[in-house]
Amino acid sequence: MKRFALLVGVEDYRDRMISRLNFARADATALAERLRDRCAFDHVRVLADESGEDEPLLVNIVTALRDTAGELRQEDLFLFFFAGHGVEKDGHGYLLARDSLQAFPEHGSLSLELLRKTFERLSAGKRILLLDACRNSPDAGRADATNRMGDVISRDIVAAARSRETGGTTTALLSACRSGQRAYEWPAKGHGVFTQYLVEGLDGAAWASGELEFDCLANYAASQVRQWAANTPGLPIPQEPWYEKFGEPGPIVLAATDTIKPAVDSLPAKTSRAGTVEVIRPPVLRVETIPSGASISVDGQVRGVAPLELALKPDEYSVKATKNGYESWVRRVRYDGVGDARLLIELPEQRLASVTTTATTAGSRRRRQVDAVTTDRSKPSDNSSICVTCPNCGQHDYVVAKTPGHYKFKCPNTRYVLGCGKYVLITVKKNGKVVAR
């Protein structure tokens, strides 16, 4: 099996009526480096230069797609990444190439219909479509305005991903945001938020048991972007990556330990008598949580979602595990680096607030205190209780009794400015309906 990748980053458009993007080129380049060095892809092509044969002009993009399609076989994997502007016009979606015209995107742009037809012709059994195309308005006069992903682009992206679902093919679609949302840039990191977490995942945060499956990479990036958006106050529009798979079920493996090209100083090596270099995998610390899926930070840096394996030097580290609905876990952990080690973390269910219940029984009023704990949004703890999401921030859930009455609690979510941290009143009506007062 061979692995191919074509990455396009359009940052500075020739048409000055199209606003410039800041990190599209850096995003494409950073991902390409990881695919070459960490995942040992066989062929990686980047179109992100401002001149020459690697300039992201429409003709170069189409030619590269055509040339790559001619080399692919059924057992191969193909990844296509695009960072740039995406627009809609007259019921069609377009990805703007460097030579696109703002007034006429149908001329000189990569239409998603053309991308769909190209994917139909691909022989590769595993295909990945990565898109980061809705950062800000492509109109140079409104460069700071939002550019939400529209329904037309969403429809056309799905059509491209669903092309040739039969014949033993599996296609993964991962977009930086969903319809009605936008993608953000992260100046402090020098990347788009979406790509920053893809890079972290490729660097190790999404690896598990010596393999990097695209499912794990997509889930890591999606969870981290959601967390970033939740922790960033003042965002006018949320960002939540959109991930779907089509065609034959099964994993898409980007890399495995025996195919990795490690950095020269990252792994110890020894030379055999035949003169070849044998890579020795260093000991790892495997972090698991109950329940799984908790975000793991080491010395303040997010490393991934449990379960995950960490290659650490012998030392003492501050390890933190967080998961919505559970108490945070923070400990100092000493890792000796002698052989593989396992760290199992059990997170206690979060006790958020004391809810004051007021009800009327036999003409008299009585007050009682009920502890509210978080639970799954769709699964109340039992038939006598209701799961209620905080009406102000939507980030915390509370369980209240179905008994009609008034409930008062103080939302502990202090990260949000509008309303949270203040008392919230909820009324449970006789029909079981819950309303905020």
38/179 same-domain check: yes
Per mean pLDDT, which range of 47-51, 277-281, 357-361 is the poorest?
Answer: 357-361
202/338 same-domain check: no
Question: Which letter does DSSP use for residue 55 in this model?
Answer: S
Side-chain half-sphere CA neighbours of 271 within 13 A: 3
187/319 same-domain check: no
What's the pTM value of the predicted model, to 2 decimals? 0.58
Domain of 203 in residue numbering reads as 3-256
Number of structural domains found in the chain: 3
* Average pLDDT over the chain, rounded to an integer: 75
408/325 same-domain check: no
Q: Predicted confidence band at 252 (pLDDT cuts at 50, 70, 90)? A: very high
Domain boundary among 228, 256, 284: 256
204/243 same-domain check: yes
**Residue-level pLDDT at 342:** 81
41/189 same-domain check: yes
**Residue-level pLDDT at 370:** 35
Contact indicator for 396, 413 with CB cutoff of 8 Å: yes
Residue 239 within a domain: yes
Contacts of 235 (CB under 8 A, 6+ apart): 184, 229
**Residue-level pLDDT at 394:** 55
- pLDDT of 325-355, one tens digit each? 788 889 888 887 766 788 888 888 765 443 4
312/357 same-domain check: no
Residue 285 within a domain: no
91/212 same-domain check: yes
Q: Predicted confidence band at 10 (pLDDT cuts at 50, 70, 90)? A: very high
- pLDDT of 54-79, one tens digit each? 999 999 999 999 999 889 999 999 99
Distance from the Cα of residue 431 to its chain's centroid: 39
CATH number, domain of 188, equals 3.40.50.1460
- pLDDT of 77-128, one tens digit each? 999 999 999 888 888 888 999 999 988 888 889 988 888 888 888 889 999 9
**262 pLDDT more than 50:** no
Q: How many angstroms separate the first and last alpha carbons of the chain?
A: 60
176/301 same-domain check: no
Residue 43 within a domain: yes
Domain boundary among 283, 318, 348: 348
Q: Predicted confidence band at 413 (pLDDT cuts at 50, 70, 90)? A: low
Cα dist from 274 to 268, 277, 279, whole Å: 18, 9, 14
Contacts of 22 (CB under 8 A, 6+ apart): 11, 185, 187
92 vs 23, more confident: 23
Long-range CB pairs of 11-17 (<8 Å, 24+ gap) are: 11/48, 11/84, 12/50, 12/98, 13/85, 13/96, 13/98, 13/100, 14/98, 14/99, 15/99, 15/100, 15/101, 15/102, 16/140, 17/101, 17/102, 17/103, 17/139, 17/140, 17/141
Residue 283 within a domain: no
16/117 same-domain check: yes
Residue 274 within a domain: no
**28 pLDDT more than 90:** yes
Question: Which letter does DSSP use for residue 21 in this model?
Answer: P
**Residue-level pLDDT at 435:** 59
- pLDDT of 266-319, one tens digit each? 334 444 333 444 434 456 788 888 888 788 888 887 777 778 778 777 888 899
Residue 52 within a domain: yes
103/228 same-domain check: yes
Q: What does the pLDDT average to over 408-427?
A: 56
Per mean pLDDT, which range of 332-341, 361-370, 402-411 is the poorest?
Answer: 361-370
Strand partners for 365: 360
Contact indicator for 329, 345 with CB cutoff of 8 Å: yes
**241 pLDDT more than 50:** yes
14/157 same-domain check: yes
